[in-house]
Chains A and B, each alone.
Chain A
Amino acid sequence: MSLVMATVRRDLLLAARNPGEWANPLMFFLMVAALFPLAVDPDPVFLSKIAGGVIWVAALLATLLSLDALFRADVEDGSLEQWLASGESLYALSLGKALVHWCISGLPLTLMSPLLGVMLHLPADAFTALFLSLAVGTPVLSLLGAVGAALTASLRSGGLLLTLLILPLYIPVLIFAASAVYHAGIGMTYNGQVAMLGAMLALALALTPFAAAAALKLNLSR
């Protein structure tokens, strides 16, 4: 079995063993969404207009929360060193890690989104768009996030810096995804937006592992 497969298996096992890893960001997701009606206006008409955007911003923040730990433990306990020693492709490894991250972050968020849609009075027509946009968009977040996580894995205050680095790169995803949900809510088609998300996913799949692999090598001490 290749080390990449073994790492994916091991990391999923670790997530199962440490449920906080995937459950905490989910709770955060829920709580952030709940902040908006509390802070602004619980009026259903008002909420239904902002629901899509709010849910997506909350998803973004929840993803950023779970990214910091992506490579940090591996750097600290020597697993990264073993990867490099194995001679296997760091490109494949980065891709595998991003996949695992999506499984424990983006996927649960996507599955939980209808619940938030109900809480924030998302228009009935927009639920499919919300689910779809999250399903296609969160992998992009994981892939881009892996680059940021790799760059900051050895830094002490890495978490905050990671957020700073990655947020501008997330803006296009946010724009098209939120727009898809909004347009669905007012009864318009949103194929174009989802297509753009798909294109971003394809681009991210192809290119980000290069950057992540290069960044991972920076974490090895002499």
Chain B
Amino acid sequence: MWQWLTRLYHRLGSPKWFYEITERWIFWLALGSAVTAVIGLVLGLLFAPADYQQGDSFRIIYIHVPAALLAQSAYMMMAVAGAVYLIWRMKMAAWVARVIAPIGASFCLIALLTGAIWGKPTWGTWWVWDARLTSMLMLLFLYFGVMALQQAMESEDASYKAGAILALVGVVNIPIIKYSVEWWNTLHQPATLKLTEKPSMHPDMLWPLLIMILSTYLFFALMVILRTRNEILWHERKRQWVRKIMEP
């Protein structure tokens, strides 16, 4: 088992291996995320019962919650990848970290926009300074910071390291920011999905949500793999195996 893990670790560090093995994954990831999205949306938009308080407008939860979850976990993954680069100098990790940033930021933006759209019928305004939305906004700022810093650095190696340092500082701060923002304001409805408690949602509402979350993560994996493959092709462009692929 340990041997298999160390072998996997070394393989993951090899761009060529990553490129070849993900060739097959792309199709299945795309298919998987599309199918689950269709199922989830159909169930959620058509079959889930309307909320007794919010009516049909709650249905935006099927996009908002997965996007928000993903935005947060993507930042963690970016920080972990950055840490791997800082400690072990694995180039693949640096490329993955760089690639995750705009994807995570986009999902953060989607979460904010859908949150705002959700807010209009629910609270009457397009924006409310409640705990969830505000900490999402802070997360967006953190994403922008990492992207802006990487862009501004002159040497590529320095940009990877700087981005990693900032992402790690951000990751330590995210719980602090979340706690302080929640403490500051508790207008937003309590989270409907807690890992240890029974969810307070009707199962007919819950299942589509879980399926959409799965779909979003599959989509995220697909995006990360596609963009990482691009990074690989660019950085390894002088190598033999890339030349062979590029030839018509």
| A interface residues with partner B (beta carbon < 8 Å) | 144, 147, 151-152, 154-155, 157-158, 161, 164-165, 167-169, 171-172, 175-176, 179, 196, 200, 207-208, 211, 214-215, 218
Contacts of B162 in A (CB 8 A): 151, 215, 218
User: Is the CB of B192 closer than 8 A to any CB of chain A?
Assistant: no
| B interface residues with partner A (beta carbon < 8 Å) | 86, 138, 141-142, 144-145, 148-149, 152-154, 158, 161-162, 165-166, 168-170, 172-173, 176-177, 179-181, 183-184
Could you tell me the distance in whole angstroms from the C-beta of A189 to the nearest C-beta in chain B? 15
Could you tell me the distance in whole angstroms from the C-beta of B65 to the nearest C-beta in chain A? 23
Contacts of A154 in B (CB 8 A): 154
A165 touches B145 (CB 8 A): yes
- Binding site secondary structure of chain A: helix
Could you tell me the distance in whole angstroms from the C-beta of A88 to the nearest C-beta in chain B? 21
Could you tell me the distance in whole angstroms from the C-beta of B116 to the nearest C-beta in chain A? 19
A176 touches B177 (CB 8 A): no
Could you tell me the distance in whole angstroms from the C-beta of B72 to the nearest C-beta in chain A? 14
Chain B: CB-nearest residue to A160: B148
Closest 9 CB pairs of A and B: A172-B180, A168-B141, A165-B145, A175-B180, A218-B158, A172-B176, A175-B184, A168-B138, A155-B152
A169: contacting residue among B86, B153, B168, B173, CB under 8 A:
B173
A161 touches B153 (CB 8 A): no
Chain B: CB-nearest residue to A219: B158
Bound together, the chains give a CA A151 to CA B86 distance in angstroms of: 15
Chain A: CB-nearest residue to B139: A168
Bound together, the chains give a CA A176 to CA B176 distance in angstroms of: 11
27 contacts between A and B (CB under 8 A): A147-B169, A151-B165, A152-B149, A152-B152, A158-B152, A161-B149, A164-B141, A164-B144, A167-B141, A168-B141, A168-B173, A169-B169, A171-B177, A172-B173, A172-B177, A172-B179, A172-B180, A175-B183, A176-B180, A196-B180, A200-B176, A207-B172, A211-B165, A211-B168, A214-B86, A218-B153, A218-B158
Could you tell me the distance in whole angstroms from the C-beta of A159 to the nearest C-beta in chain B? 12
Bound together, the chains give a CA A155 to CA B158 distance in angstroms of: 12
Starting from the known contacts A169-B169, A172-B180, A215-B162, 10 additional A-B residue pairs (CB-CB under 8 Å) come to A157-B152, A161-B148, A168-B142, A168-B145, A169-B173, A171-B138, A171-B177, A207-B172, A208-B169, A214-B86
A164: contacting residue among B148, B154, B172, B177, CB under 8 A:
B148
Could you tell me the distance in whole angstroms from the C-beta of B102 to the nearest C-beta in chain A? 16
Interface contacts (Cβ under 8 Å), in number, total 70
Could you tell me the distance in whole angstroms from the C-beta of B37 to the nearest C-beta in chain A? 31
Chain B: CB-nearest residue to A174: B180
Bound together, the chains give a CA A158 to CA B154 distance in angstroms of: 12
Chain A: CB-nearest residue to B146: A165
Chain A: CB-nearest residue to B184: A175
Bound together, the chains give a CA A121 to CA B71 distance in angstroms of: 42
B149: contacting residue among A151, A167, A171, A211, CB under 8 A:
A151
Chain B: CB-nearest residue to A214: B165
Contacts of B169 in A (CB 8 A): 144, 147, 169, 208, 211
With A172-B180, A200-B176, A214-B161 in contact, do A161 and B152 touch (Cβ < 8 Å)? yes
B170 touches A169 (CB 8 A): yes
Bound together, the chains give a CA A190 to CA B181 distance in angstroms of: 17
B176 touches A165 (CB 8 A): no
B161: contacting residue among A152, A164, A208, A218, CB under 8 A:
A218
Chain A: CB-nearest residue to B183: A175
Contacts of B179 in A (CB 8 A): 172
Contacts of B144 in A (CB 8 A): 164
Could you tell me the distance in whole angstroms from the C-beta of B154 to the nearest C-beta in chain A? 8
Could you tell me the distance in whole angstroms from the C-beta of A22 to the nearest C-beta in chain B? 26
Could you tell me the distance in whole angstroms from the C-beta of B182 to the nearest C-beta in chain A? 10
